[in-house]
Amino acid sequence: METEVLIVGAGPTGLMLANQLQRMDIRYEIVDIKDGPTNESRALAVTARSMELYQQLGLSSIVQQQAVELSGIRIFLDGKPRAIVDFTQSGQGFSDFPNFMNAFEQSKNEVLLAQNLQDQNKTVLWQHEFLQLSQTSDAIETIVKIGLQVRS
């Protein structure tokens, strides 16, 4: 395969990068060793800045519909409240999403971003393992394992 950009990893960051490159019409391939979006979530929330990135892709309203708005968090120590962090004005004056910290877990994020690529006829190359990179004066060559095959 020949491409301008190879993205290794189809987690939230890799998928967002792929979506942004797609939006800018830059040739890319995205590979991940997993067989699809994750089922578990390591990240639980999106911020106003994340929402601005979703807005660029035309996806912010979907996130708003699926997410749960967080007004803040309470921090406890030894069963006693020690601090309250208020999110209700976190983006005030800085963003189109001024009151934003939403619970939108990683699994939903990955499904949404992968589906958006698929809707544009671009797929994540699941079950592809990045193995090696080498650089010459004219090119960068990578080796990616596809299932049981090795392809460069």
pLDDT at 87: 80
- Note the helical H segments in the chain: 12-23, 48-56, 60-66, 106-119
The pTM score is 0.84
Distance CA 101, CA 121 (A): 31
Are β-strands 5-8 and 28-32 bridged in parallel, bridged antiparallel, or unpaired? parallel
Q: Report mean pLDDT in 10-residue bins for the chain, 152 residues.
A: 92 96 97 92 84 95 91 92 85 74 90 97 95 92 80 58
Angle at 138 between CA 137 and CA 139, to 5 degrees: 105
The number of beta carbons lying within 10 Å of the beta carbon of residue 5 is: 12
What are the residues whose beta carbons fall under 8 Å from the beta carbon of 141, sequence distance 6 or more? 133, 134, 135, 152
